[in-house]
Amino acid sequence: MSDDELTTAIKWLAMSPPRGSPDAPPPSADVEVEFGARSQRGPLRSGNDDHYLILRLERHHETLMTSLPDSDLPKRLDEYGYGMVVADGMGRAGEAASRLAISTLVHLALTFGRWNVRVDEAIAEEMMERAERFYRSVDATLLRAGHQAARGLETTMTAVYSAGDDLFFVHVGHARAYLFRDGELLRLTRDHTLARERPSRARMVDVSASAQDHTHLVTETLGGTVAGAPRIDIERISLADGDVVLLCTNGLTDVVDDAGIAGALRQHRTPDDQCGALVDLAASSGGPDDVTALVAHYRIRALSGEATVEPELHLP
C-alpha cells in the first residue's frame, strides 16, 4: 500500500458514519442531558419511603504515547450513558426496601454490566435481557434479606437508561415513566395495580391504609412475599432532540392527572424547577403520600450537519 493509499484509508476510518448506519450506532457524545430531582415526605408519614438515583457512565479514549502522526489517530473521545431510578418502598420497612433495591441494582451494574454507550439491535437485546436478570437478582436479595430480618422488604422500582438516542426503561409496580415530546405527554409504563389487571390476579399489596379503590392495590412488586416472580416490563424507544423524560412515584400521579403533569413540563424551566413544581402540585392537591420526581432534558445534535431523523418508537 502506498503512502497516499494509507492516508486515504486512515481518513476514511476517521470519518463519522451517518446517523442510522446499521454498522455504527451514533456516538452518545452527541447527546447532552440536564437532570433535576425532588423528593418530599408525605405530610402523614413519619419518614420518606421513596429513594432515587441519577448516574452517568463514561468511557473515553486518550492516546498516551505513540509513534504515529497525530493525523493518523482520532482525537480524545468521551462518551456517556445516563441512568435514573426511583423506588417506592412499602410497609413498615419501606424505606429500607427501596434503599436496598437501588443499592443492589447499582452494585450489579458495576459488577456485571458492560457499560454500553453505543447500541445496535444485538446490543439492545442483550441489554434488555441483562436488565431483567438484574431485577430478578434485586427481587431475590430483598426476599433473602427480609427473611433474615423476619420482616417484609417490598418495593416498586422503575429505571431508565439512555445511550446515544436509545432509551431503555424497566418497571415493576406503580411508579411511572413518561416521555414529554412536542408538548404532548406519553406514559411509557403501565401501572401494576388491580385496576389495570384481570381481577383474578392474586398478588396484591395495599400500599395505602385508606385506599378505597383498586388503583392502590399493587399486583407486582420486588421482594413480594407471595410466591411467584414479579412480572418485569422492559421496553426501548428512540429519543428525539428536545425530549423530556419524567420518573415519578404514585405520590404524584395519585393526585395530579396527566394533564396537570404535562402543564408543569410545558413551562420553560430547568429540570430541577420542574421537579419542584410537580412536587408542589402534589402537596397543593392534598396528597398524603411521599412524592418523588426526576426530570431529564435531552439535547441531541445531528452529525456532520445532517438533520436528525425522526426517531421510531419501539413501543408495542
* Residue 69 domain-assigned (yes or no): no
pLDDT tens per residue across span 105-114: 999 998 988 8
In a domain, 4, yes or no: no
Q: Is residue 108 part of a domain?
A: yes
pLDDT for 227 equals 56
Cα 42 from Cα 50, distance rounded (Å): 10
Backbone angles phi, psi at 241, to 5 degrees: -60, 130
In this structure, is residue 280 part of a structural domain?
yes
Looking at residue 232, its amino acid is I
As to burial, measured by CB atoms within 10 angstroms (0-12 exposed, 13-18 middle, 19+ buried), residue 1 is exposed
Tell me what pLDDT residue 3 has. Answer: 59
- Record the cell numbers describing residue 235, joined without a space: 421496553
Residue 288 lies in a domain: yes
**Cα(275)–Cα(264) distance, rounded to whole angstroms?**
9
Is 100 a domain residue?
A: yes
Which 8-state DSSP code applies to residue 214?
A: G
What CATH number did the domain enclosing 207 receive?
3.60.40.10
Distance CA 90, CA 95 (A): 8
> Which positions ≥6 away from 211 have C-beta within 8 Å?
217
| Domains contained in the chain, number | 1
- The verdict on residue 66 lying in a domain is no
Domain residue limits at 205: 33-61+76-300
Give me the residues of the chain with pLDDT under 70, please: 1-29, 195-216, 225-228, 302-316
Whether residue 71 lies inside any domain: the answer is: no
